[in-house]
Structure 1
Amino acid sequence: MSVSCSSQIHGENEISRVQLRSFTNCRDLGPGKLDPGIIQECAKIVAELNQETAVYCTLNVYIGSTQDSEALRDELRRIRLRGLELAQLNKLKLVPLLNNTTLSPDDTQELERLYKIFSACLELLETQLIKSLALIKAFPLHNGTKVLINTGTSEPFLLCKHTKITVENLDTSTCSKTLLEQEEIRGLKRDVNALHELIYNITQSADINPWADFEPPPSNKTAKTINASSSISGSADTAVTHNTVRTQRCVCVIVLTFSAVTISAVVIGVVLGII
């Protein structure tokens, strides 16, 4: 009987030690520190997406001009597909980290900064895709006769480095090229819709306003307007002050005049009463 009691007491002591040890460990826990490699990977994806978006914006200007060609449109297709791939990849890596509430404030701030850059790239890429879709519809290369716009640039197009000229491309008939061009338009429409849906899903998943802390610096025109309004308000305040002082002076003069007339009447009355 004594053995069982001692074993029970020993067991309770062990349980209390385990509980105390567990609470002590919980007291030492703080905000989790994220692996720097994960943040660097997300930053690398955002930087590459930013570069691809910038190149797409540059090449998109040439659609419908005399520098427009199949090589240009193939390069735009390659950049578009690469941009969608990067956007989808960064959605899987960056967005789940933004919803983690156990991270340190420094990691949270860095992730929010990357998200704002990422969101801006996606919005700009969507705008450029819509623009290129309208231009490709307006200036088909193999469907109908469309006069290309002469931009005054006479040098050949040298920015397409990833396009390979093959015998199959040279032997493709005009009918096949027309069908390929129509298929390209349909594929561009699908990519625009896919990117729009991706932006919507990312916005719903991450509760961060990209323009929350953005305060544009005042321009020269705005500064002049502010200075003019401040000078106008200053002059208005000065005029109000002068008017107030003038009113107070008028009131003082009226009060003194009324007092003098009253005193004079009282004195005259006293003098007449004595006489």
Structure 2
Amino acid sequence: MAREECKALLDALNKATACYHHLVLTVGGSADSQNLREELQKTRQKAQELAVATRAQLTAALRDRGLGAEERAEFERLWVAFSGCLDLLEADMRRALALGTAFPLHAPRRPLVRTGVAGGAAGVAARALSARSLRHEAEGDFDVDDLRELEREILQVSEMIHDMEMKVNVPRWTVQARQTAGAELLSSAGASSVGAVSVQERTGPCDLSKALAATVFSAVLLAAVALAVCVAKLS
């Protein structure tokens, strides 16, 4: 039951981390807005909550001395996957901090990336002054506060990774995968070889004497054609 719970938590963490990664890629672009920054904040906080819960489950399981060898190997694989997921989350949080600092929401010259909005100043201002835009302008310090909070959260994730390495010693290079590297490619190649064998079985084995005779016949035929062409030119 504990293993299934860890797998479910890790799966949810992977999805949250992947979602956060895609959101970070849009910071500073034409789709950037306060709505995006708020969604980034919610997603990374959700990812951190899942990370804390996953770490607690895996730590308790791996520190259990009565754990069987097979179960321990499975939990170690989950631990390595969890560590990699945390590394990606920390890297994306640092990227979000750098992009958020470079592209502040309410800077006078923002956005630095062209958005394609064109028209007179009055028309653009009229389109921009919606109820949501006014609310966002009233909350002009949101991105500043969020970046400060993001700095603190990056430190927390870094401390979590360090604490994990201190409490549970699972070197990544000692964990064996369930399948060999490139198993998908090998399975595809295996399917191709099976198809080739089935074709060979249908067509039968190759007769070397027949192949040699066909080659000699082709050479003689080509020589005859070349000779006929030369005679025609000379005549």
**Deviation at residue 203 of structure 1 after TM alignment:** 1.1
The runs of 5 or more residues in structure 2 that have no matched partner are 117-129, 183-235
- 1:198-232: CA deviations, max 9, x gaps? 111111111001233479969xxxxxxxxxxxxxx
In the superposition, the TM-score normalised over structure 1's length comes to: 0.56
Q: Which runs of 4+ in 1 moved over 6 A?
A: none
Structure 2 partner of 1:157 = none
**Relative to structure 1, is the Cα distance of residues 41 and 173 closer, same or farther in structure 2, using a 3 angstrom cutoff?**
closer
Structure 2 partner of 1:204 = 166
Structure 2 partner of 1:172 = 135
**Deviation at residue 147 of structure 1 after TM alignment:** 3.0
Deviates more, 1:80-89 or 1:98-107: 98-107
* Aligned positions of 1:23-172 closer than 5 A: 37-150=1-114, 170-172=133-135
- Cα contact 1:119–1:210 (8 A) shared by 2: no
Higher Cα Rg, which structure:
1
Q: Secondary structure at the match of 1:136?
A: helix
Q: Distance in 1 between matches of 2:134 and 2:150?
A: 25
Q: Distance in 1 between matches of 2:71 and 2:114?
A: 50
**Deviation at residue 145 of structure 1 after TM alignment:** 1.5
Q: Secondary structure at the match of 2:139?
A: helix
- 1:10-58: CA deviations, max 9, x gaps? xxxxxxxxxxxxxxxxxxxxxxxxxxx1110111000000011111111
**Relative to structure 1, is the Cα distance of residues 211 and 131 closer, same or farther in structure 2, using a 3 angstrom cutoff?**
farther
Q: Distance in 2 between matches of 1:111 and 1:168?
A: 51
Q: Distance in 1 between matches of 2:112 and 2:136?
A: 21
- Cα contact 2:73–2:175 (8 A) shared by 1: no
**Deviation at residue 148 of structure 1 after TM alignment:** 3.4
**Relative to structure 1, is the Cα distance of residues 101 and 184 closer, same or farther in structure 2, using a 3 angstrom cutoff?**
same
**Relative to structure 1, is the Cα distance of residues 48 and 93 closer, same or farther in structure 2, using a 3 angstrom cutoff?**
same
**Deviation at residue 150 of structure 1 after TM alignment:** 4.4
**Relative to structure 1, is the Cα distance of residues 173 and 113 closer, same or farther in structure 2, using a 3 angstrom cutoff?**
closer
Q: 1:182 aligns with which of 144, 152, 163?
A: 144
The runs of 5 or more residues in structure 1 that have no matched partner are 1-36, 153-166, 219-275
Aligned residues: 167
**Deviation at residue 73 of structure 1 after TM alignment:** 1.2
Superposed CA RMSD in Å reads: 2.4
**Relative to structure 1, is the Cα distance of residues 214 and 133 closer, same or farther in structure 2, using a 3 angstrom cutoff?**
farther
Structure 1 partner of 2:227 = none
> What amino acid maps onto 1:112 in structure 2?
E
Q: Distance in 2 between matches of 1:133 and 1:188?
A: 7
- 1:168-197: CA deviations, max 9, x gaps? 8554363x4321211111111111111111
Q: Distance in 2 between matches of 1:180 and 1:73?
A: 9
Q: Distance in 2 between matches of 1:210 and 1:151?
A: 44
